[in-house]
Amino acid sequence: MRLFLSSWKLGDSPDLLDDLAGGARAAAVVGNALDALPGPHRQQATNRETAMLRDRGYQVTEVDLRDHFGDADTLAERLSAFGVIWVHGGNPFVLRLAMALSGADDILTDLLHRDALVYAGWSAGACVLSPSLRGLELVDDPDDAVTAYGQQVHWEGLGLLDYAFVPHYRSPIPESESIERVVERYDRERVLYRVFRDGEVTVVT
């Protein structure tokens, strides 16, 4: 299993992603964490992610999980063609539900256990790998997932990490203040977690 997890985009160590990917240059961008935003705003953000990866030499294709709701077989075939899956930030509840409705949660878990690709995610894209999303409602609205898809929220994470991934810790963005409340709650409830400032990256192999 190869994971590249960041608080903010490629962080201060983009070479770590290249090292994990090896010679693989086919990358899929998954932007479903932003599905609750107006379409043009979502697309602009996804285009920026695509350009960022192309600047590093990756051949990038957007994979919209909404195109595969209820069609996990097609999604599995499609994702198996990539060496890197880049999952960008936004609302972790929206992203997690999109993964469940498309089957991406089980597909990616299987591909990672077979070491068939690199999962690279930042902010929400990393948070969904935690055991649970509880506590993140202090930062992002779970109801955005209901609004986006008309389905109930999935509170459990993929469980590929044994700790809660906490991004934007004491970083110069507005969400950082809410993150302090998340940390206080995790301390109070004795939840295992790790904090990451913007720029920080962790790699799991």
Average pLDDT over residues 68-96: 97
For the segment 93-139, what is each residue's pLDDT rounded down to a tens digit? 999 999 999 999 999 999 999 999 999 999 999 999 999 999 999 99
Owning domain of residue 63: 2-204
Could you tell me which of 29, 161, 8 has the C-alpha nearest to residue 85?
Answer: 29
Could you tell me which of 42, 31, 93, 40 has the C-alpha nearest to residue 66?
Answer: 31
Q: What percent of the chain is modeled with pLDDT above 70?
A: 100
pLDDT value of residue 56: 95
pTM of this structure:
0.96
pLDDT value of residue 175: 86
Task: Provide the CATH number for the domain around residue 21.
Answer: 3.40.50.880
Report d(CA 93, CA 140) in Å as an integer.
8
How far is residue 8 from each of residues 12, 79, 97, 99, 156, measured CA to CA in Å? 9, 24, 22, 21, 23
pLDDT value of residue 77: 96
Q: Which residue has the higher pLDDT, 174 or 102?
A: 102
In the predicted model, is pLDDT for residue 145 greater than 90?
Answer: yes
pLDDT value of residue 174: 86
| Local confidence band at 188 (pLDDT 50, 70, 90 cut-offs) | very high
Q: 13 burial class (0-12, 13-18, 19+ CB within 10 angstroms)?
A: middle
For the segment 19-30, what is each residue's pLDDT rounded down to a tens digit? 999 999 999 999
Q: What percent of the chain is modeled with pLDDT above 90?
A: 98
